[in-house]
């Protein structure tokens, strides 16, 4: 029995792999983002193949526009995508062809002038300070290694605005307790140093002194700050489970996520008078435009207070 002949990749397929390799090696993009781009571009490649297009040079703006329309409408094999999901897929398509144009493979970028679908503005969901305190209080129950870790983890998430991947990616050496700061590694491997805060520093200190050595003894030795039951680095899934359990004990909504604490961190800073550009640096946003959506949250709260309090507001 002979092996089936290998399927030769098309020029479009080779171009996709070239761009993904560039993002991985040159840009240091996360594995999660690369996997999402790969899925989006697999659908794009499939559309082009069905249209009889094998070379990137043969792609036209009309192809990109029709592909976007099909994303929104769906077909026999795919459900219709929301505007936000279709826009994300188009980001991958535009990134690919912009890369090919910059590399000289294409004379012009066929996706450049195809605008993504407009998406409704979604305000970040934050929880009030008293709800945060209830959550952190629920994590402080007991003096076991797991309880000490859970309190430290949630204090770090809220106290630094870290993404969940940044928090579980912390090593012990990323902490500088003398200066009260922590080094976070964000998207694309970019590092930033943020204050730890006294509550988070106290919780982390209790964990590293009384809790971490107990779990570390069960593992093979790891520099990770947060450990699981077997002494290995705590996974994202386990960190989510910690938050869900604490939220349930605090009688808070079940849809609470680690990103909710990040949103709350930013919102509470701005409500306390922090400058938006300082919040931008703390969150690790590349552009202040991303951070400015939080200012709309505080304006909305002002409107609500005004509507409830002023005698001629309605």
d(CA 176, CA 196): 9
d(CA 94, CA 88): 10
The β-bridge partners of 193 are: 183
Whether 187 is catalytic is yes
DSSP state of 209: I
Among the listed residues 163, 185, 263, 268, the single catalytic one is 163
Whether 183 is catalytic is no
**CB atoms near residue 263 (< 10 Å):** 21
- CB neighbour burial string for 126-161, b if at least 16 within 10 angstroms, e if fewer: bbeeebbebbbebbbeeeebebbbbbbbbbbbbbbb
Among the listed residues 37, 47, 158, 294, the single catalytic one is 294
d(CA 40, CA 38): 6
Nearest partner of 251 among 143, 106, 130, 158, judged by Cα? 130
Query: According to the 3-state scheme, what is the secondary structure of 275-295?
Result: CHHHHHHHHCCCCHHHHCHHH
Tokens 């039951």, residue located: 229
Whether 285 is catalytic is yes
What would the two tokens of residue 72 be? Answer: 């929104």
Within 8 A by CB and 6+ apart from 173, the residues are 223
The β-bridge partners of 191 are: 185
Among the listed residues 187, 192, 233, 249, the single catalytic one is 187
Among the listed residues 43, 134, 262, 263, the single catalytic one is 262
Among the listed residues 55, 218, 259, 277, the single catalytic one is 259
Whether 259 is catalytic is yes
Active-site positions read 163, 187, 259, 262, 285, 294
């Amino acid at each position: 029995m002979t092996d089936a002949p290998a399927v030769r990749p098309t020029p479009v397929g080779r171009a996709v792999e070239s761009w993904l390799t560039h993002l991985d090696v040159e840009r240091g993009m996360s594995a999660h983002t690369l996997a999402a781009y790969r899925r989006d571009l697999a659908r794009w490649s499939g559309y082009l193949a069905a249209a009889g297009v094998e070379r990137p040079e043969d792609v036209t703006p009309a192809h990109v526009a029709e592909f976007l329309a099909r994303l929104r409408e769906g077909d026999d094999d795919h459900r219709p995508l929301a505007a936000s999901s279709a826009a994300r897929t188009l980001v991958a398509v535009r990134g690919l062809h912009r890369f090919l144009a910059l590399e000289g493979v294409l004379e012009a970028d066929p996706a450049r002038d195809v605008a993504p679908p407009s998406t409704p503005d979604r305000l970040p969901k934050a929880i009030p300070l008293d709800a945060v305190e209830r959550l952190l209080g629920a994590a402080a129950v007991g003096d076991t290694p797991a309880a000490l870790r859970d309190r430290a983890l949630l204090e770090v998430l809220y106290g630094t605005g870290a993404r969940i991947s940044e928090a579980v990616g912390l090593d012990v050496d990323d902490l500088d307790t003398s200066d009260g700061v922590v080094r976070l590694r964000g998207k694309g491997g970019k590092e930033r140093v943020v204050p730890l805060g006294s509550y988070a520093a106290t919780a982390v200190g209790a964990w590293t002194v009384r809790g971490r050595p107990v779990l570390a003894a069960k593992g093979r030795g790891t520099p990770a700050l947060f450990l699981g039951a077997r002494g290995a680095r705590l996974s994202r899934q386990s960190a989510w489970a910690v938050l869900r359990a604490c939220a349930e004990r605090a009688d808070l909504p079940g849809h609470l996520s680690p990103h909710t604490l990040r949103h709350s961190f930013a919102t509470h800073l701005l409500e306390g008078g922090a400058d938006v550009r300082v919040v931008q640096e703390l969150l690790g946003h590349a552009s202040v435009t991303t951070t400015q959506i939080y200012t709309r949250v505080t304006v909305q709260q002002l409107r609500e207070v005004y509507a409830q309090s002023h005698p001629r507001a309605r």
